[in-house]
Amino acid sequence: MEQWIHNLQRMLPGYKGYEAHETRRDADKMLRVQVAKQFRDQQSDLNRLIQEMTRGGGLRYLDNLDRVSTGIDRFVVKLETAPRGYAGWFEVITINETDLDLLYQFDLQLANNVGLLAERINFVRNQMQEQGDVAAAIAELQSFVDTMNRQLDARTAFTAEGKRPDTPPMAELGLGAGAAGAAAIPPVTPPAAEPPLAAGPEGEAIPAEGHTVRLEQSAIPGETYDVPDDPPSSFETPDAPTDKP
């Protein structure tokens, strides 16, 4: 649970959590206000994308993107509005550790979804610019916004009605309640860099063992080599032409 709180404090400056009874409602309000603003910013970016598509010949996608924008708007309105019965949950003197852990997971899920939504909006933009599968990218964006609304409804049901979710919120990201609780997608390990080419006695490039020189790395200006589909680990450089008197 401490890891959930640490991640939330990193993502939402000023976040204090719910352990102190007297500041519990303030903490919840601060969370909802800050996160709602961040989602509004993403909705504004989506609206800019809709304008770009209007100018760029993407009119056939506008209805679907309008539905996505409506889904984000519905999500933000629900986030900004505390439901009936909500306040009573925060008035309880002592909240057991299991319930606190669940609430922190819900909060971390909310904060984490801002970045995930931004990624999906940018993916639609990239697909449009690259003439890729825009329709599939929009469908994925719509599915994610639907998931966001479902997750927020589950948080509301928990805080207003005491209904616990069937699956812990962060488990949907592959992070269980006992996990380290990183609030982001695990980093991708970059591929190992190719070893640098060594220089021969006359300055020519010599490939490292097990590697080949790419065509554009030829040591002879203006000359290219025919490389077979399955080239050997090394090959000889052809002799440079010489001028005979």
Max avg pLDDT among 35-44, 182-191, 212-221: 35-44
The mean pLDDT of 89-103, rounded to a whole number, is 77
Instruction: Retrieve residue 210's tokens.
Output: 């097990």
* Average pLDDT, integer, range 179-196: 36
Give the DSSP H or E segment for 206.
strand 205-206
Report pLDDT for 218: 35
User: How far is it, in rounded angstroms, from Cα 144 to Cα 39?
Assistant: 13
In sequence order, what DSSP letters do the residues of 161-182 get, joined into one string? H----SS-GGGGGT--TTS---
Residues 120, 42: Cα–Cα separation, whole Å: 10
Q: What is the pLDDT of residue 225?
A: 37
Q: Which residues pair with 206 in a beta bridge?
A: 198
pTM of the model: 0.67
What is the model's pLDDT at position 100?
Answer: 84
Name the token pair of 15: 């976040």
Taking only Cα atoms into account, the Rg of the chain, rounded to an integer number of angstroms, comes to 28
pLDDT on residue 20 = 78
